[in-house]
Amino acid sequence: MTGFRRWLRANLWALVAVAALGTASAVYAFGFDWRDYQERNPTQPIEIARGDTGELGAARFVIDDVIVLEGDSADGRRYGVTAGTDVVVADLRITPDPEGGEDDYAFCDVVYRAPSPDGEREWWPQTTNPTSYPDPGESAFGCQVGFGPEYRIRMYFTVPAGAAEGGYVQVTTPEELPRALRLR
């Protein structure tokens, strides 16, 4: 028997343990990235026209209006939009799960996506209004779909000038991935 075979036979269980631990470590490490990948790249989009209702789980979503304030236009200057950018103002109506209770907190992610020469780009909403465009009288902050009455939310997305063309508002919930709503 050669030296390598003896060494292999003597260390077989250690090698098996290293292989198993290495595989388990890779699965553990990349498992978090897989969920993030699925959340950002849902594979089953559902197209919803403006004014129509889309459903994810027991929650319902309607996009009431989308306004693009172009920074290099008269309206953009009027509302203080930074030159070279556009601000997308999206008004959504959200009806949380009617069967949910106060302990049923579930969130959703809302992004603005639009085609570009390099593939689709996405923008997350601003946490505050980046313009002087009027805020609605009552508007919620954040997207909660676990329980509660219907509410409206206004979101602001700052994009490069002209980048909003052909875009849509995408809504995802972790429980419904890989499904997503594309509200136009």
Q: Are 33 and 102 in a shared domain?
A: no
Total number of residues shown for the chain: 184
Q: Which helix (H) or strand (E) holds 37?
A: helix 12-40
End-to-end CA distance of the chain: give it in Å, rounded.
71
Q: Are 53 and 35 in a shared domain?
A: no
pTM, rounded to two decimals = 0.77
Q: Which residue has the higher pLDDT, 100 or 27?
A: 100
Q: Which helix (H) or strand (E) holds 112?
A: strand 109-114
Q: Are 26 and 106 in a shared domain?
A: no
What confidence score (pLDDT) does residue 177 get? 86
Q: Which residue has the higher pLDDT, 168 or 19?
A: 168
Domain with residue 86: its CATH number is 2.60.40.1240
Confidence of residue 153 (pLDDT cuts 50, 70, 90): very high
What confidence score (pLDDT) does residue 170 get? 96
Q: Are 35 and 18 in a shared domain?
A: yes
Confidence of residue 171 (pLDDT cuts 50, 70, 90): very high
Q: Are 12 and 102 in a shared domain?
A: no
State pLDDT tens for residues 2-45.
888 888 788 878 878 888 887 878 777 776 666 666 556 788 99
State pLDDT tens for residues 105-144.
888 999 999 999 889 999 999 988 999 999 887 766 778 8
Radius of gyration of the chain (CA): 24
Q: Are 78 and 129 in a shared domain?
A: yes
User: How many angstroms separate the most distant Cα atoms in the chain?
Assistant: 86
Q: Are 119 and 70 in a shared domain?
A: yes
State pLDDT tens for residues 33-74.
666 665 567 889 999 999 999 999 899 999 999 999 999 999
Q: Which residue has the higher pLDDT, 79 or 3?
A: 79
For the chain, the domain total comes to: 2
Q: Are 33 and 118 in a shared domain?
A: no
Domain that includes residue 20, residue range? 3-40
- Cα 42 to chain center, whole Å? 9
